Amino acid sequence: MRRIFLFDENSLNSSSGARTVSQSINFSSGQASGTQDAFAGIFEDHPGLNPNAERVVELQCVIREKFEALTQDPEKALIMAEASHGESDNIPFMESIVDDLTQNGVSGEAFQEALNLVGQSAASPLDQFEIVPLIPMNIGNFYFSFTNPSLFMLLTLSFFLLLIHFVTKKGGGNLVPNAWQSLVELLYDFVLNLVKEQIGGLSGNVKQMFFPCILVTFLFLLFCNLQGMIPYSFTVTSHFLITLALSFSIFIGITIVGFQRHGLHFFSFLLPAGVPLPLAPFLVLLELISYCFRALSLGIRLFANMMAGHSLVKILSGFAWTMLCMNEIFYFIGALGPLFIVLALTGLELGVAILQAYVFTILICIYLNDAINLH
């Protein structure tokens, strides 16, 4: 479908009237040859209109048709045409756009400039979180496509396995650890001490049962968060469904541990000792809601922090780049300030990536301790 814009007399006589739409008429591509006749009829019926307005509208239509012929996309062509001539009613300028599109096509300055303008206007800080199917797979109504989050989770797992392989490839590591072995030992000892300090009421051997799961969770989140700081990568933990699936699976596992250890007595944590009987039903309901919301809060906290931090970095980076592209007078004032802010914020986001993995892990230990000791 193509679109002709009709303009009222007052808008066309104004300085920017050629851009004010009063109504639109859709017609099929087969009627494109009648475009000029349609415009001519409009102006014949309104002899008092601005004499240049007919030519302006005619050039707008020609520019749009040129873009449509080059892009084969009517909607994109309309957007690019709007971006190329903007609010201008400068006939020589619009004729130069037509000439450039006719002579140079997609390699011309007019097409490339319109493409850049459309890209800048359509850019969003949330575009970095878009899920893109890499290998589409459908089984009936079920969707099993291999997407960019799947790819980066696979890369995270591969990096983790390679790291462990390089550390242990000589049969348990070196007596004098190298840099990679020191890193793994540091992470191992850190999580082990965290489990020992946060989970009470158990012997050391029993605590070791929970340690592998907690260690793998911490390393997975840490590598996913740090991987998201690499340009053109994907932040897996910025998607709520991924963090929610992780938090719900851990929540269900902790609840099962509580029932295995205490049986039905596990429900006693819903009613604190010494509570007056009239308040018991209210407190039981309140504690139950609070307990169930742990699964949500655990996932939302990680998702919100990672998404907000990366969005802020994207926004300020775009602002810094825009200021950097200004003229030289504003270079030091307009560009260096935002650039330093982006660098500082990137360092802060790097710290947040590590901190959020730690917070998620320590909350797992606290919730596990509550289930074991009924706190």
pLDDT number for residue 131: 81
Residue 74: how many other CB atoms lie within 10 Å: 16
Question: In 3-state terms, what secondary structure has residue 245?
Answer: helix
CA dihedral 58, 61, 62, 66 (to 10 degrees): 170
pLDDT tens-place string over residues 91-116:
888 888 888 888 888 778 888 787 77
Per-residue pLDDT band for 15 (boundaries 50, 70, 90) equals very low
CB 368 within 8 A of CB 257: yes
pLDDT of residue 337: 73
Q: Where are the domains of the chain?
A: 2-122, 138-373
Tokens of 282: 């209210």
Return the pLDDT at 245.
Answer: 93
Taking phi first (over 0 means left), then psi (-120 to 50 degrees means alpha), and beta for anything else, what does residue 139 get? beta
Residue of 63, 103, 99 whose CA lies nearest to 83: 63
Per-residue pLDDT tens over the stretch 307-316: 998 888 888 8
Check whether 10 has a pLDDT greater than 70. no
Confidence at residue 29, expressed as pLDDT on a 0 to 100 scale: 38
Q: Global pTM?
A: 0.65
What average pLDDT does the segment 251-263 reach?
91
Rounded distance, CA 56 to CA 371, Å? 74
pLDDT bucket at 325, cuts 50 / 70 / 90 = low
Instruction: Kindly report, residue by residue over 235-249, the tens digit of the pLDDT.
Output: 899 888 899 999 999
| Most confident stretch, 6-20, 106-120, 281-295 | 281-295
CA distances from 137 to 143, 144, 146, 148 (A): 6, 5, 7, 14
CB–CB of 62/98 below 8 Å? yes
Interval 31-83: pLDDT, tens = 444 444 444 444 444 444 455 777 888 888 888 888 888 877 787 778 888 87
What pLDDT was estimated at residue 47?
Answer: 44
User: Residues of the chain with pLDDT > 90: what percent?
Assistant: 18
Q: Which residue has the higher pLDDT, 280 or 290?
A: 290
Grouping H, G, I as helix, E, B as strand and the rest as coil, residue 143 is strand
Question: How confident is the model over 195-251, as pLDDT tens digits?
Answer: 888 887 666 666 778 888 999 999 999 999 999 888 888 889 988 889 999 999 999
Mean pLDDT of 157-179: 75
C-beta atoms surrounding 195 within 10 Å:
22
Residue appearing with tokens 């969770």: 217
Paired sense of beta strands 23-27 and 146-147, if any: unpaired
